Chain A
């Protein structure tokens, strides 16, 4: 699978990571909904770790679509909250 970290580029990851990322992502959303900053930070770091550990950066001149696009590395808790309160990080 191809994962993009917004602002950083694309990474090729083994398909098995999809489930793991998905679980972490869902838990991160729960943490946001519960207003739990620390938990959110922890889960978000874990997601970044998965990409750092298993991911291989794609060459810059490769033109492929990502399967998953993760928010920017330095996403703040407040930005994450906005992400789910209608407007989104990027207003549609």
Chain B
């Protein structure tokens, strides 16, 4: 078959024959083969552990961002009640950005969970084959002459070898995926470090990076909606208030908040 399956088959078979490339003395091959299989099982376990580690990292990141969402929401409300719509808007923009990131993180965590499940299944399958091989090799050693044994061994070993090669592929795919996610997680951490998701108590002068991020969001409409909703909730929704004075410094400090706006 020259197609996909053909190519898969060829590659896996060549891997298998390399895995089994040691067939002078049948009984030696058997024990050597078994030892190799057990080693392979360890690799699968490591593959699973890597996926779990990557998953945990993403989960931690997600928790952190979740906390920020709550914090930013509170701060937006505080800002509104102090008539600082400008600050409230920034908080809501950041909140939207953080929420978008949260969604994507949750998706990735789910994906990694699937990977983990798949690898665990593969490990179980390989374990079953290895166990079957272990039993079979003792039977072969006991029952067959060297020449006959050779044929039987190579059949049995090929069966396990194929499973090993296949599990190897599964691990490799899982690694590729976690690698992509790791890169992305790193990028998110950079964003965090740049203060993108930070709470407003740390808000400094406007940053170019940050502004760019926020603009890219195109989240204006969502932020407007939320802002209006919050204002209504907080009972400051009369609508005929004059806009905030221009040119105010965005924040004076934390805690007590600026008392400069119109006092209600």
Contact = CB atoms under 8 A, between A and B. Distances in A.
Interface of A: 4, 6-7, 9, 21-22, 25-26, 28-29, 32, 47, 60-72, 80, 83-84, 88-90, 92
26 contacts: A21-B1, A22-B1, A25-B3, A26-B3, A28-B3, A47-B5, A60-B128, A60-B132, A61-B128, A63-B129, A63-B133, A63-B159, A65-B13, A65-B155, A65-B162, A69-B5, A69-B13, A69-B162, A70-B8, A71-B8, A72-B169, A72-B170, A72-B173, A88-B7, A90-B172, A92-B14
Given A61-B131, A63-B159, A89 B8 contact: yes
A8 B203 CA distance: 52
Contacts of A72: 169-170, 173
B166 A7 contact: yes
A21 B1 CA distance: 9
Contacts of A80: 4
B9 A63 contact: no
B23 to A, nearest CB: 15
Nearest to B2: A26
A70 to B, nearest CB: 5
B3 A60 contact: no
B30 to A, nearest CB: 12
Contacts of A9: 125
Contacts of A6: 8, 166, 169-170
Contacts of A60: 125, 128-129, 132
Contacts of B6: 25, 68
Interface string B1-43: 1111111110111111000000000000000000000000000
Contacts of B74: none
Contacts of A71: 4-5, 8
Contacts of B15: 90, 92
A68 B9 contact: yes
Nearest to A25: B3
Interface string B131-154: 111001000000000000000000
B133 A83 contact: no
A51 B131 CA distance: 27
A88 B157 CA distance: 25
B155 A63 contact: yes
Given A61-B132, A63-B156, A89-B169, A29 B11 contact: no
B158 A65 contact: yes
A28 B4 contact: yes
